[in-house]
Each structure stands twice: as structure tokens, then as C-alpha cells.
Amino acid sequence: MKKRKLPAVYIIDGVRTPISSPFRAFKDLSAVQLAAHVIKGLVKRHQCQSKIKEIILGNTVQAGIGQNPARQAALLAGLSPSVPAYTVNNVCGAGMQAVILAAQSLSLLDHQGMMIAGGSESATHAPFLINRKDEGSKHAETTDSLMVDGLFCSVSQKWMGDLAEGLAQKYRISRQDQDAYALESHQKVVRAQARGLLSQEIIPVNVSKLKRVVQDDRPRENIRLKQLADIPSSFQKKGTVTAGNSSTPCDGAAAVLLASDSRHSRQGFRIIHYTTIGVHPKLTFESTAQVIRRCVASSGLTLSDIGLFEIGESFGSQMVYIKRRLNIPSNKLNILGGDIALGHPLGAAGARVLVTLMTAMRYSKTKRGLAAISYGGGGASAMILEEG
């Protein structure tokens, strides 16, 4: 297939907050505040406040946050009111979708300025919704907005974990294989933390005068396979998907700085190609392998041309399936660990994999890498980056 080159757009830099379990480090910070923190961090690092032309941010559970979280975050970060901003909701793919939209804008409109795109989520602040039976009724039922808007597929009427169970059953992915993958995710993150690799992409957050959050709080250094094996199944009585081999909705934000000016090519990574696909909602976790194949093929490359893969880890069964389907070795897949260990801030997850891919590429001196993520409703996105 003939290689199709996109107009040059570069991701100059990417940053994120630490990722925190709900009701812990960021319990007093909203998704808007977390987003403002990464925007401010990028602007300060590159002294580019006057060059920012637009902000695009992903966010999934928006109930109660207020109008247009991206706009709120841009202003809170100190950007001029003249800088437009808007919010994207594509479930777990929202953060990557925001980056794709920014890349399209820069390439089509030939902006000479810069854009910031990414995502943010606060599982802590996802409110309960009150569903009244009729007008004026004092009797009401409550619904957890995180569950209904983030973890339940309204089309298939299935929990995302049930879909992960279906994948495991269909492709005979054992509990042992899922637990082993989860253990590996924790081990990779712990090693990366010890080497200071993840600190390169994290902007510490001062949550009070006395407390500064500098790293992710979920990775477990001493976790063992026996501990993972003792965790009960979460979705089916004799199922294989557990809290131990799944990612957990968390609090965090991630964002990247983009430009179309070739003078920035030496600072960052060129976006070679990106692809978004839709599939039947029940096939959500099969879609990641599909979008990777399609993105690579339509770019004119082959899978062997990709040095590193950074893939959103929703469930262990999904990741085992991808490894088998695409024959990706462990030393090329999520080499610094992933969401099962880090946590999974829904609206930020797609941007987080891009940020970590850049860190991994710099660390391993890899020329070309691919980030991908699937999301509820049936779909997936992928993006290929190349050293500038």
C-alpha cells in the first residue's frame, strides 16, 4: 500500500498529573482544576502563552462539572479569554480524540500557533443522579453517574467488565494469563518509578501547603500472583475478570502541546498517521487490535516498523488478546506499565497513553511508536508518532 503522508503536525511535549485513586490525593480537586494544572504546566515549560490558539479537552463524566470544562480549565490556567476551548466526550478515547481534532485543525487551517489537547477526569467527584418517578414526587432513585456514564454500555446493556468476560470466554483467555499480565503491568511501573522515568512526564500537584503529590499512588511494589489469584471475580460468578486484573477509574489529567511549524520538529514527535474505527459495541475490546492493524496499514508501514506500542489497559483479557492477535512481545508493549497498575482516569486515558509513549520512546531511543485505546459504545483510536 502506498504511504500517505499527513501535513506535518508535531507533538512538542506531553505532561500529566500523577494518577490517584478516588477519594485520596485529589479528593479536593475537580476535573477542571486537574486539567488547568497540565495546561499551565505546558505553557510554563515552553513559555508559549501568547501562541496558544485553541484548547481541546476530553472529559467523560460531566454531570455537575459546569458548562464546558475545557473552557473553564483554560481560563483557570491563566489563558486569555480570547483563546477558544471546547470539550470532547468519546468515553475512554476522549483524550486521544481531542489530540486528533487538534492535529486536524492545525493541518487543515495551517495554524502558525500552537494548540493544547488532552483530557481530564475526577472519579471522586462523579455525582449521584436523582431519578424522580414523576413530577413533584418525593420518591426518587439514585444512580452513580460514574457507573452509568463511564462503565456501562447503554447500547449493548452490558457492563464493560461483562464485555471483557465475553472476550476471555470467546478466545479462551485464562484467569492465570490475565493475572500474569496484571502483575507485569505493576512490575513495569514500579521499575519505571524507581528509575525516575515517569517523573519526566509528571507535573507534581500541590494539594495543600503541606502536601505535594509527585507520583502515582496505585502501583504496588510487593504484589504477587498469589494475591491476584485470591481476588474474587467481579462480573460473573465463575468469571475470570477481577478487580486485580482490571483498571480502576481514577483522578488525573494529561495534555500535549501541538504545532505545525517545522521549527519544532527537533523538540518532539511528528504525527505520522491516526485512525479511528467503529465496531459493534459487544466487540469493543477486539477493536484495539483492528484499529492498530488499520492505522499501520493505511500509513504504509508494517507492524514490524513500530518500535513501541502504548495501549490503554482497560482489562487484562483485552491486553492478552492484543498480544496474541498482533504477536507483540512484552519488551515492545507498554514498557513503562499501564492502566491496570496506574489507574484509568476515563477522559484522560487516551492522552495519557500518548504522553507515556513519548517518554518511552525517548528512554529507549525508539524512532517510531504507536498509541491506541478502545472505548465504550464500540470503537478505538490509534496514532503513530515518529521522532522529529
State the pLDDT confidence band at 20, using cuts at 50, 70 and 90. Answer: very high
Phi then psi for 246, rounded to 5 degrees? Answer: -125, 160
Mean pLDDT of 252-276: 89
Diameter over CA atoms, the chain: 64
Cβ neighbours of 327 (radius 10 Å): 9
Residue 287 has pLDDT above 50, yes or no: yes
Residue whose C-alpha cell is 508501514: 301
Band of residue 43 on the pLDDT scale cut at 50, 70, 90: very high
CATH number of 10-125+247-387: 3.40.47.10
For residue 37, is pLDDT > 90?
yes
Share of the chain above pLDDT 90, in %: 89
Q: Give CA–CA dist 242/201, Å, rounded.
A: 29
Q: How far out from the chain centre does Cα 308 lie?
A: 16
Mean of the per-residue pLDDT values of the chain: 94
Q: Round to whole Å and give the CA distance between 53 and 75.
A: 13
CB atoms within 10 A of CB 235: 18
Mean pLDDT value of segment 284-291: 98
Q: What is the pLDDT of residue 3?
A: 53
Residues 71, 36 contacting (CB under 8 angstroms): no
pLDDT at 82: 97
CB 328 within 8 Å of CB 321: no
Task: Give tens-digit pLDDT for 159-214.
Answer: 999 999 999 999 999 999 999 999 999 999 999 999 999 999 999 999 998 999 99
1: confidence class by pLDDT, cuts 50, 70, 90: very low
Compute CA distances 190 → 186, 199, 204, whole Å: 6, 12, 18
Segment 55-62 shows an average pLDDT of: 98
**Domain boundaries defined on the chain:** 10-125+247-387
Tell me: pLDDT of 263 over 80: no
Q: Over range 235-260, report the average pLDDT.
A: 96
* b/e map 44-75, b = 16+ CB within 10 Å: eebebbebbbbbbbbbbbbeebeebbbbbbbb
Strand partners, 52: 114
State yes or no: pLDDT of 111 exceeds 80.
no
- Tell me the pLDDT band of 272, cut-offs 50, 70 and 90: very high
User: Looking at residue 131, what is its pLDDT?
Assistant: 84
- Phi, psi dihedrals of residue 342, rounded to the nearest 5°: -75, -35
pLDDT digits (tens, 9 = 90+) for 310-339: 999 999 999 999 999 999 999 999 999 999
Position 366 pLDDT exceeds 80 = yes
